[in-house]
Amino acid sequence: MTSSPAALRALALAFLLVVGDGVTTGFVLDGDHSLDSVALRIADAGLGQTLNAQLMSLFIPEILNVYPGTEPVVIRIRPTMAPVFTGAPGPAGETAEMKIGGLAVDAVATDANEIFLTLEVDMDAGVDLTFTPAGLKFALATPGAADIGITDVVSANLCGMLGADAGCTTNDAQSVATGAYRVSFDIAAVAGEQWTLDIQHALLGALDRLSDGYNDGIGFQDGGGAAILHTNMQADVQLDGAPAGSFDITPSVTSINDGIGGGSNDQDVEFSGANGIVLQGTTSVSVQVDFSMAMEAFSNSNTAFPTANGDEMAIRLGKNDTIDNNFTAGGYPGMDSRNIADDGHMADIVLTVAPLP
């Protein structure tokens, strides 16, 4: 992904032009002096062509690596706060200046039903007042590129489940995996501006043991098992291939285990953590952010005396999954009625630009 402040301003300005010139019910003040939410298509503005991934690739070339060029796109504009008049003239000498902050712009791939770009727009706009036979008319001027501030947001969510369950007198069951992913993009700097990259990530999940019981009624003991986070959630960022910082998460809990003939109580132990890093610069750079964590689920079966069943062991990280029909430790809501939407590894990468002081 290429993030150019100038291109994003042009993108936001294009959206505002479409709203201001083509959708008269979209960008207006209602009775509560707030902005209406509106979904835009270029065809709505009378330009004769529906907005799709091919047109969006003029601003975000990498979109064609994810969606076909014919993928329809809708731009949703959502106000998060009411605009205010400052009492000063507008940027181009209009009657009044209106500050609009926190205007959320989501670009949605409609067939895939996915938001692939989120922007937060802050801008200063001029407002003229004229008298007409119908009464006082407000005219919102198109803001210049220099009057628009852009916040570019990329979010990622890694979900999964790792489980193991050994039956009596069979071999031990062991699952080992590394959950990892990478986010890479370019920042195209603009002269006279400073970019700020704020990367925050959070981890939430559970280590689970579903005991087969100390004695299952036919003489088999509890074989036990373990669920282990072998590493921190490792997080590293590189700028132009050079290390620029590490911001690992150390989970609050890293393991649970139970030996042969151990306790027969089930366990659901939550782990969590969060960390972040902030970087700033004034030059164009390629950014690479890597996340990874090594995990293991182990279920112990004992063939000799005492004969023992392995416990169901799971690491739940936001995915409702199972390894066979009799395995329930990895399911949601499951033990302690966990909310599947809350679990996982979540990362937010926020790019903002501002004039140099």
CATH class of 2-155: alpha beta
158 contacts 345 by C-beta, under 8 angstroms: yes
Asked if 85 and 138 count as a contact pair (C-beta separation under 8 A), the reply is: no
Q: Tens-of-pLDDT digits for all 357 residues of the chain?
A: 444 444 444 444 444 433 333 332 233 333 333 333 344 443 344 445 578 888 888 777 778 888 899 998 888 887 888 888 888 888 888 888 888 887 888 888 888 888 887 777 777 888 887 887 877 787 877 777 666 777 777 888 899 999 988 866 567 888 999 999 998 888 888 888 889 999 999 999 999 998 875 544 444 566 678 999 999 999 999 999 999 999 999 999 999 988 665 556 788 999 999 999 999 999 999 999 999 999 999 988 765 555 567 788 999 999 987 666 678 888 999 888 999 999 999 999 988 888 887
Q: Which CA distances in Å does 165 have to 224, 226, 310?
A: 10, 11, 6
Residue 68: asked if its preceding bond is cis (omega within 30°), the reply is: no
**Residues 119 and 319 sit within 8 Å (Cβ to Cβ):** no
Residue 237 is predicted with a pLDDT of 97
Single out the residue of 338, 78, 343, 330 nearest to residue 209, CA to CA: 330
Cα 109 to Cα 186: distance, rounded to the nearest angstrom: 22
Residue 46, token pair as written in the block:
């009378």
The pLDDT of residue 14 is: 42
* Amino acid of residue 269: V
Note the pLDDT of residue 102.
79
CA 184 to chain centre: 14
Identity at 32, one-letter amino acid code: D
Question: What is the enclosing helix (H) or strand (E) of 21?
Answer: helix 5-22
Which two tokens mark 254? 């890293």
Which residue type, as a one-letter code, is found at position 205? G
What pLDDT does residue 303 have?
Answer: 55
Burial class of residue 303 in the structure, from the number of CB atoms within 10 Å of its CB (0-12 exposed, 13-18 middle, 19+ buried): exposed
The helix (run of H) or strand (run of E) holding residue 84 is: strand 84-85
Positive/negative CA dihedral, 197, 239, 119, 282: positive
Distance CA 18, CA 11 (A): 11
Q: Where are the domains of the chain?
A: 2-155, 159-347
Assess contact for 143 and 132: CB atoms under 8 A.
Answer: no
The pTM score is 0.69
Burial of 333: CB neighbours in 10 Å, binned 0-12, 13-18, 19+: exposed
Question: Which residue stretches of 141-231 are H helix?
Answer: none
Nearest to 297 by CA among 265, 248, 330: 330
CB atoms within 10 A of CB 355: 10
Compute the C-alpha angle 180/185/189, nearest 5°. 150
